[in-house]
């Protein structure tokens, strides 16, 4: 009987094993996860879970009984330390070995950390990636304490929103000229900045970290503008790196992620990859998509192709971020945009429409789910209404989807 092994207990891994069973695979399936708990949702970690609004069990993507009922072996608290691709054999952290017929790597990513030389290993310095990270930092979130957040991307901004809601004194520094500079237009940065400042967050742009100070625990931070901040703890949100060490050990090609073809197969015919760790081709460019949506969609396709379906993965990028009472929803990728058009909505809602020439390529929507859905469908359909039509308050947006 064939044995399919999936390494990585995140959203992609959980999706992949479920799809294998729903597609009728009746062989053995093993899902190997490094954490002691079954696969769980990660986005709520830095929001609802940290705020105490979501219990641990509600994070689980499926209850433990589901894996038993579907004859899926969970190897939790276990790491793969080596892959012998020629023999199709894994060596596990407990010293045991496991053979496979097909192997899928859904190993995700690692947060970038600060070097020890500038205080990155002091106590009180945290990253936000998994349950252990959030459980470790949760006691720090006491009213009146001072937190420094390094990095003005979505992770840093979401952490700032939670800290502000809990009554902490929040300073966020971003080395680039503006927050969200890598992923969003100036208009979106401006909207988000104003929202945070209205909640008392001290946002400092064009300012980086020089070093963190303290004997064993962080007590202050020196910034690149010469200023010094007294801090109680620090959250580092300066991006992630794909987890590719196992792929490299297996001898498959790695370039800013595990290189895959349109079906999700690596350069080894019996090894596949999906999620944050894997590359994909989008409109002729080889990229990685760091999102829950991509982890689900790509893993779904990989599962089918492990069963010989031969389906090409066509990404339909979408993302979201919850900050305070604002839901920011994003559809498409804004790579190569040359114009952004702003559409005002009701009660402070707003949407930003990205164009490359005459082509609509992405939309950011702030508390504007209807226009987000219209924009997402327009992009997927390849339709590009004129910007003046989009931004006209009298336009029937749903009517743009017809014809």
In a domain, 320, yes or no: no
Give the 3-state secondary structure of the chain: CCEEEEECCCHHHHHHHHHHHHCCCCCEEEEECCCCCCCECCHHHHCCCCCCCCCHHHHECCCHHHHHHCCEEEECCCCEEEEECCCCEEEECCCCEEECCEEEECCCEEECCCCHHHCCCCECEEECCCHHHHHHHHHHCCCCCEEEEECCCHHHHHHHHHHHHCCCEEEEEECCCCCCCCCCCHHHHHHHHHHHHHCCCEEEECCCEEEEECCCECCEEEECCCCEEECCEEEECCCEEECCHHHHHHCCCECCCECCCCCCECCCCCEEECCCCECEEECCEEECCCCHHHHHHHHHHHHHHHCCCCCCCCCCCEEEEEECCEEEEEEECCCCCCEEEEEECHHHCEEEEEEECCEEEEEEEECCHHHHHHHHHHHHHCCCCCHHHHHCCCCCHHHHHCC
pLDDT in tens, the chain (403 residues): 899 999 999 999 999 999 999 999 999 999 999 999 999 999 888 888 988 889 999 999 999 999 999 999 999 999 999 999 999 999 999 999 999 999 999 999 999 999 999 999 999 999 999 999 999 999 999 999 999 999 999 999 999 999 999 999 999 999 999 999 999 999 999 999 999 999 999 999 999 999 999 999 999 999 999 999 999 999 999 999 999 999 999 999 999 999 999 999 999 999 999 999 999 998 888 999 999 999 999 999 999 999 999 999 999 999 999 999 999 999 999 999 999 999 998 888 999 999 999 999 999 999 999 999 999 999 999 999 999 999 999 999 999 998 6
pTM (two decimals): 0.94
Same domain? 168 vs 87: no
CATH code of the domain covering residue 342: 3.30.390.30
Domain membership of residue 35 (yes or no) is: yes
Split into its structural domains, the chain has a count of 3
Residue 316 falls within a domain, yes or no?
Answer: no
Domain termination site, one of 236, 256, 271: 236
For residue 315, is it within any domain? no
Domain of 117, in residue numbers:
113-236
């Amino acid at each position: 009987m064939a044995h399919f092994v999936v390494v990585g207990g995140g959203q992609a891994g959980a999706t992949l094993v479920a799809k294998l069973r729903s597609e009728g695979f009746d062989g053995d399936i093993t899902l190997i996860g490094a954490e002691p708990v079954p696969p769980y949702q990660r986005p709520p970690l830095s929001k609802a879970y940290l705020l105490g609004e979501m219990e641990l069990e509600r994070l689980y993507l499926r209850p433990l009984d589901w894996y038993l009922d579907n004859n899926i072996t969970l190897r939790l608290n276990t790491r793969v330390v080596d892959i012998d691709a020629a023999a199709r054999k894994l060596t596990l952290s407990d010293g045991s070995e496991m053979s496979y017929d097909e192997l899928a790597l859904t190993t995700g990513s690692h947060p970038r950390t600060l070097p020890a030389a500038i205080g990155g290993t002091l106590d009180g310095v945290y990253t936000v990636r998994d349950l252990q990270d959030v459980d470790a930092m949760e006691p720090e979130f006491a009213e009146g304490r001072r937190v420094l957040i390094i990095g003005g991307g979505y992770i840093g901004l979401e952490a700032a929103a939670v800290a502000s809601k809990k009554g902490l004194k929040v300073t966020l520094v971003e080395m680039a000229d503006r927050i969200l500079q890598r992923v969003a237009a100036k208009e979106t940065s401006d909207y988000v900045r104003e929202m945070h400042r209205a909640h008392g967050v001290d946002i400092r742009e064009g300012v980086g970290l020089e070093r963190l100070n303290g004997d064993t625990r962080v007590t202050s931070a020196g910034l690149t503008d010469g200023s010094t901040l007294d801090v109680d703890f620090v959250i580092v949100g300066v991006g992630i790196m794909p987890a590719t060490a196992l792929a490299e050990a297996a001898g498959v090609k790695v370039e800013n992620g595990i290189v895959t073809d349109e079906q999700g197969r690596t350069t080894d015919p019996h090894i596949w990859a999906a999620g944050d760790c894997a590359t994909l081709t989008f409109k002729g460019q080889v990229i990685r998509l760091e999102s829950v949506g991509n982890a689900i969609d790509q893993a779904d396709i990989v599962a089918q192709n492990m069963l010989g379906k031969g389906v090409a993965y066509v990404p339909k990028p979408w993302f979201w971020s919850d900050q305070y009472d604002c839901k920011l929803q994003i559809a498409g990728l804004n790579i190569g945009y040359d114009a952004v058009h702003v559409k005002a909505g009701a009660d402070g809602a707003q949407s930003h429409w990205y164009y490359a020439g005459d082509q609509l390529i992405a939309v950011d929507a702030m508390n504007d789910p209807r226009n987000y859905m219209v924009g997402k469908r327009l992009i997927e359909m390849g339709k590009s209404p004129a910007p003046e039509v989009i931004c006209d308050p009298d336009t029937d947006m749903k009517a743009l989807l017809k014809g």
